[in-house]
Amino acid sequence: MRLFNRLASVVLIVVAPVGSRTVLAQTTPADSFACDRQCLSTAMDDFVKAATTGRASSIAIADYAEIRENAAIVPIGNTTWARVKTVRSIVSIADVSTGNVVSRAGVELIDGTPGYLSTRLKVVRGGRVMDVEISADTSPRVVSSYVWKLDPSFTTVLPEDQRLSRVALEALARRYFHSLSTHHAVLADFETNCNRYHSGQQITNLAGTRWREGRQEHALAPWRAPRLGDRPLNSVFRSSIQSVVSSSR
């Protein structure tokens, strides 16, 4: 994922506003997990293949695993993945330190319409999946030309001298998601031309209107979103933080 010390673009597929629990990204010694980077990537590949071919029951789910889609608990065989005809584009990012792997996928559903799926798997010893978190957008706002050809820059490995530390990346991501819930941002975190996209739909800098016009709270600023009030940030926010953090390595 191509990231700088300021946000140049923000790509979100926010669907559900509420999550059942708040799990903070953490740094744990890699040897706490049996899954290395290849193992995690394979776990995601196997999950997608099984979930899209009617074999979701074959996925190695750990006892007491939690499976959620758009914040609601669902059976493993009843996620939007079961309605996918073709995976048109997918990127996966593995984080050995926490045993998580995140994928962003542009899919074609059985009825031919586009969908955008974000999936996080927590893989524990033995290669079993402890958590499945999915944010699915199958609404008319999904832009097929965007999600069916995801920008490869999000998985581009930056030269070492352009990278931020894991701590700095996580702090940047957390400040952004905090700004979504408060509508107050650290302006220095954003490039002047930063845009926000929802499922491929650009929602800032439209019709010649720029988000920064000398006012911190411009209605089209990249950090503006429907207020979340006192509710916890949802699972896709946690997934996004996880994918940002894991890209630092």
* pLDDT tens for each residue of 41-78: 999 999 999 999 999 999 999 988 999 999 999 999 99
* pLDDT tens for each residue of 89-146: 999 999 998 999 999 999 999 999 999 999 999 998 888 999 999 999 999 999 999 9
Instruction: Kindly state whether residues 218 and 101 are assigned to the same domain.
Output: no
Q: Answer whether 0.95 is exceeded by the pTM.
A: no
Question: Quick one: what percent of the chain has pLDDT higher than 90?
Answer: 39
Structural domain of 178: 160-238
Instruction: Say how far apart CA 245 and CA 1 lie, in whole Å.
Output: 10
Instruction: Kindly state whether residues 94 and 43 are assigned to the same domain.
Output: yes
Q: In which band, very low, low, confident or very high, does the pLDDT at 33 lie, cut at 50, 70 and 90?
A: low
**Per-residue pLDDT, 35:** 84
**Per-residue pLDDT, 133:** 96
Question: Quick one: what percent of the chain has pLDDT higher than 70?
Answer: 68
Other Cβ atoms less than 10 A from the Cβ of 219: the count is: 10
For tokens 């750990």, name the residue: 62
**Per-residue pLDDT, 139:** 93
**Domain with 80 in it: what CATH number?**
3.10.450.50
Domain membership flag for residue 8? no
Instruction: Kindly state whether residues 113 and 192 are assigned to the same domain.
Output: no
* Two tokens, residue 94: 């593995």
Boundary-marking domain end, from 93, 124, 155: 155
List b or e across 83-97, with b for residues whose CB sees 16 or more CB atoms inside 10 angstroms.
Answer: bbeebbbbbbbbbbb
Instruction: Kindly state whether residues 228 and 177 are assigned to the same domain.
Output: yes
* pLDDT tens for each residue of 157-170: 889 888 889 899 88
Boundary-marking domain end, from 155, 185, 200: 155
Instruction: Kindly state whether residues 183 and 232 are assigned to the same domain.
Output: yes
Q: Return the half-sphere exposure (C-beta side, CA atoms, 13 A cut-off) of residue 21.
A: 9
